[in-house]
Amino acid sequence: MFSRHFLIDKILPIKCLTNIIQYCTISMQMRMIIKFIQGGNMKLDEVITKRIVKIDQINIQGVHRKRLQEMGLIPGKKIYVQKFAPLGNPMEIKINGQSISIRNEEAHLIEVSDAHE
Amino acid sequence: MPMSNTVALVGNPNCGKTTLFNVLTGSRYSVGNWPGVTVEKKEGKIDENLTLVDLPGIYSLTPFSKKDEEIAEEFLLSDRSDLIVNIVDATNLERNLYLTSQLIETGKPVILALNMIDELDIAGANIDYEKLSELIGVPVVPISALKEQGIDLLVDEIKKRIKYPKNVKWHYSGEIEKYIVDAQKKIEKESIVYKNYPSRFLAIKHLENDHEINDVVDYFDQSQLIELENKIVADRYEHIRLIIEKTFFSDRKFLDDSISDKIDSFLTNKWFGIPIFALVMYLVFQFTFSIGNIFLDIIDGFFSGVIIPGVIGTLTSLGVADWMVSMIGEGIFGGVGAVLTFLPNIIFLFIAIAILEDSGYMSRVAFILDRGLKKIGLSGKAFIPMVIGFGCNIPAIMATRTLRSETDRKISILVNPFMSCGARLPVYVLFVNAFFLKNKALVTYSLYMLGIVIAILMALIFKKTLFKGDTEVFMIELPRYRTPSIKNVSLKVWEQGKAYVQKAGSIILAASVVLWFILNLGPDGMTEMQNSYGAMIGKFIAPIFKPLGFGDWAASLSLLTGIVAKEVVISNMAIIYGLGSSVAEAALEGSVEGFAPTLGAAFNQVSAYAFMVFVLLYTPCIATLAVIKREMNSYKWMWFQMFYQFVVAWIVSFIVYQVGSILFL
């Protein structure tokens, strides 16, 4: 049926590629999980969904900072990461039992750490 | 004589403010379940000596070039407001009380109207109202605006507090209080004045690192202020937390998966979210047509079968002059009747939009589409005015005020008229029924979609050329889903339907009469339509439309007069083509032969579609232009709007007609 060459030339590289992709995704997830276990800082947009995190620092100034403040997003506050929108951006978080949507770009400037005791 | 007093109603967006305003004043304003429904302040009377002002919903008193908060802050601190009623969503105390903390600092007496207490019961939570009042230092009145509970108590409290005002201070920790007092002393010593703001309020604003205030007060330097801003905000939230801890009791946990989350697991689902949105929009139009058409038949029969022959018969028997009979029968009743015939379709469209608004789905649409809209330089929030534009562009353009970035707002205004408003629907209904009987909903849907596509393209072009600048920070609340209340939906539909009928009775009536005259008068006095002034005007501008496939004078004249109001297009066609009484009847029978001497002769399927495209895209009606002038604060933009939409409409219709002719004819 298939020649050896076919296997080596076509199937093998594809298999290799999928393996690499798989490895990358797994390692990314692992890294996040490890980060969580270590309790290290991470950005809000990197958090795996369905988790509670605590805000450590907000690297936004001026008007935009005030917008976050009035919504209750201040350091020390615990938030729940609900989901990402169908196209991957923005994200939905819960704070004080209220759902709020913010963009990943802003979320990236918010440093959080795992809040599961 | 008792003094007349003014009460300001303030609260977070979407906390039931407008509902309470309606209950207190007996007014009927639109209510929706998305943040930012109230975009202007409105006034009403509680009783003859008590005026209530409803301010736009705000999260805090932090005006940063944002209209809503500016309006609110300036009004609250002016001499005009004697008392503040702060409406608070009892189910979301933490965020709502943040605004309260700032309102108290204005130095005006504050009453806390604790709204949605009925929802608290459902959620199994309760609040110690007396304790809450004691801890904040202001009177607290539990109410339910929707169910009209506690309203009398609130009115009593308002009257009492106006007689005996009591100023309170928000509680800060010792450290912060010292900073405030220090800054305040300096402001008083140097007699710094900013607007008519009290010195303590100015001091607090300074601590909050408010840039405008920092220009006049410089007690702390910038590096101190960054730290102080964090401290004062954290201090407020800490005090709020303590208050809630002592007054709010709930057996529910922070993360309880609510019903809203379950609904959202479908509606904003990774895979189904966008297809569901497309389906919802399609169903809206299907609904508008299938149910609307049933009633359309009845109303049309009533007009053409009963009213018009009746009027003509009565007038003739009374011996009224022939031309008068013709003017009243064909001009007024024909023109106005043609517009009213489509009332059912429009009512059903309004119902559909009102349900979407009231349910809370609108914010989800913003959530789903934000990524796509970001690509064209807008935010997901810009989509809400677009959907409202399907009803009418005027409230839609006003709704753009909820967009915080000025460039976003301008672009949203400029492209909003491409959203096909209800007044354009009759044109589609007529043409679709006459020429596209098999694919009614699909053809109409395609027009709405085309409007969206053109709007997006133009937004992209504007963003790249006229408005280069940053996009607003996208942050939107996703309110809990609510079963749309019959009261809210019918209120909104009533209001918009009424406006449509009023327009038929005023502008369209006048336009019909004028049109009847220019169509029956010519240089030689009373004449045949072909020789009238109207025909002359039509013939004069017709060459412009010839390449688009509808270069006859009648269609041209209809389009020209349609700038008065889009409904006029259809009422004119009714008069000119003599469809008059039988317009919808013949359309519903679906025989183009029924139109053979009239519409069928002037149009074929391709030119009919090109005509609809033109009506969709060309210069908006006068009322919309006036709102654009007001919102953009410039005549230049208004003229620009008039001109560019005409050009866009011409180009797109040209392409549709020319390409369509090659493909289908």
Q: Is the dihedral of CA B545, B547, B552, B553 positive or negative?
A: positive
β pairing state of B5-11 and B50-54: parallel
B316 touching chain A per CB within 8 A: no
B230 touching chain A per CB within 8 A: yes
Select from B275, B535, B364 the least CA-distant residue to A101. B364
β pairing state of B475-478 and A98-102: antiparallel
d(CA B548, CA B418): 19
- CB contacts of B475 in chain A (<8 Å) are 67-68, 71, 100-103, 106
B474 touching chain A per CB within 8 A: yes
Residue of chain A nearest B252, judged by CA positions? A97
d(CA B389, CA B397): 8
Q: Which residue has the tokens 């207490």?
A: B117
Select from B444, B434, B428 the least CA-distant residue to B587. B434
CB B420 within 8 A of CB B624: no
Query: Residue B437 is which amino acid?
Result: L
Q: Do A70 and B99 touch (CB under 8 A)?
A: yes
Residue of chain A nearest B91, judged by CA positions? A97
Q: How far is CA A88 from the centre of its chain?
A: 10
Residue of chain A nearest B479, judged by CA positions? A99
CA distances from A30 to A20, A23, A84, B343 (A): 15, 10, 20, 60
Q: Do A68 and B475 touch (CB under 8 A)?
A: yes
B596 touching chain A per CB within 8 A: no
Q: What SS3 class is residue B403?
A: coil
B477: Cβ contacts below 8 Å, ≥ 6 apart: A98, A99, A100, A101, B13, B14, B35, B363
CA distances from A47 to A84, B151, B560, B635, B640 (A): 11, 45, 57, 49, 46
Torsion angle in degrees (nearest 10) through CA of B242, B248, B251, B254: -60
Query: Residue B74 is which amino acid?
Result: E
- CB contacts of A80 in chain B (<8 Å) are 254-255
- CB contacts of A69 in chain B (<8 Å) are 60, 233
- CB contacts of A86 in chain B (<8 Å) are 268-271, 273-274, 368
Whether omega before A90 lies within 30 degrees of 0, making that bond cis, reads yes
Q: What SS3 class is residue B432?
A: helix
A27 touching chain B per CB within 8 A: no
Select from B582, B30, B273 the least CA-distant residue to A101. B273
The encoded tokens of residue B365 equal 């649409």
Q: Do B478 and A100 touch (CB under 8 A)?
A: yes
B377 touching chain A per CB within 8 A: no
CB B626 within 8 A of CB B641: no
| Segment B412-415 long-range contacts (CB within 8 Å, at least 24 positions apart) | B412/B378, B412/B382, B412/B385, B412/B386, B412/B459, B413/B628, B413/B631, B413/B632, B414/B458, B414/B459, B414/B462, B414/B637, B414/B640, B414/B641, B415/B386, B415/B454, B415/B455, B415/B456, B415/B458, B415/B459, B415/B462
ipTM over 0.95: no
Q: Residue A54: its pLDDT value, please?
A: 93
* Chosen from B235, B371, B404 to mutate, greatest number of chain A CBs within 10 A: B371
How far is B192 from chain A, CA to nearest CA, in Å? 24
Q: Do B254 and A98 touch (CB under 8 A)?
A: no
d(CA A80, CA A44): 10
d(CA B339, CA B334): 9
- CB contacts of B233 in chain A (<8 Å) are 69, 74
Q: Do A101 and B476 touch (CB under 8 A)?
A: yes
The encoded tokens of residue B298 equal 């009845």
**Residue B418 DSSP one-character state:** G
Q: How far is CA B153 from the centre of its chain?
A: 32
B123 touching chain A per CB within 8 A: no
B 600-629 residues inside an 8 A Cβ radius of A: none
| Residue in B95, B229, B368 nearest the CB of A86 | B368
Q: What is the 3-state secondary structure (H, E, C) of B481-537?
A: CCCCCHHHHHHHHHHHHHHHHHHHHCHHHHHHHHHHHHHHEECCEECCHHHCHHHHH
CB B417 within 8 A of CB B645: yes
Q: Residue B592: its pLDDT value, please?
A: 44
B539 touching chain A per CB within 8 A: no
Q: Do A74 and B234 touch (CB under 8 A)?
A: yes
CB B207 within 8 A of CB B227: no
Question: Which parts of chain B sit beneath pLDDT 50?
Answer: 1, 65, 254-255, 580-581, 588-594, 596
A3 phi, psi to nearest 5 deg? -80, 165
| Residue in B59, B271, B371 nearest the CB of A85 | B371
β pairing state of B5-11 and A110-114: unpaired
The encoded tokens of residue B94 equal 């933490």
Q: Do B64 and A75 touch (CB under 8 A)?
A: no
Q: Residue A102: its pLDDT value, please?
A: 93
Residue of chain A nearest B277, judged by CA positions? A86
A31 touching chain B per CB within 8 A: no
A45 touching chain B per CB within 8 A: no
Q: Residue B1: its pLDDT value, please?
A: 43
Side-chain-side CA neighbours of residue B131 (13 Å)? 11
Q: Do A90 and B370 touch (CB under 8 A)?
A: yes
- CB contacts of B363 in chain A (<8 Å) are 101
CB A21 within 8 A of CB A71: no
How far is B627 from chain A, CA to nearest CA, in Å? 29
CB B608 within 8 A of CB B434: yes
Q: Which residue has the tokens 């904003």?
A: B268
The encoded tokens of residue B195 equal 């607007």
Q: Which residue has the tokens 């209209």?
A: B67
How far is B90 from chain A, CA to nearest CA, in Å? 12
Torsion angle in degrees (nearest 10) through CA of B572, B578, B583, B585: 170
B11 phi, psi to nearest 5 deg? -175, 175
A 56-115 residues inside an 8 A Cβ radius of B: 61-72, 74-78, 80, 82-90, 92, 94, 96-103, 106
The encoded tokens of residue B312 equal 């003509």
How far is A42 from chain B, CA to nearest CA, in Å? 21
Side-chain-side CA neighbours of residue A85 (13 Å)? 25
CB B114 within 8 A of CB B140: yes
DSSP conformation letters of B300-359? HHIIIIIIHHHHHHHHHHTT--HHHHHIIIIIIIIHHHHHHHTHHHHHHHHHHHHHHHHH
Residue of chain A nearest B35, judged by CA positions? A100
- CB contacts of B208 in chain A (<8 Å) are 66
| Residue in B64, B269, B371 nearest the CB of A87 | B371
Q: Do B475 and A71 touch (CB under 8 A)?
A: yes
**Residue A9 DSSP one-character state:** I
CB B323 within 8 A of CB B519: no
How far is B64 from chain A, CA to nearest CA, in Å? 7
A17 phi, psi to nearest 5 deg? -60, -50
Q: What SS3 class is residue B137?
A: coil
β pairing state of B42-47 and B521-522: unpaired
Query: Residue B118 is which amino acid?
Result: D
Question: Which parts of chain A sit beneath pLDDT 50?
Answer: none
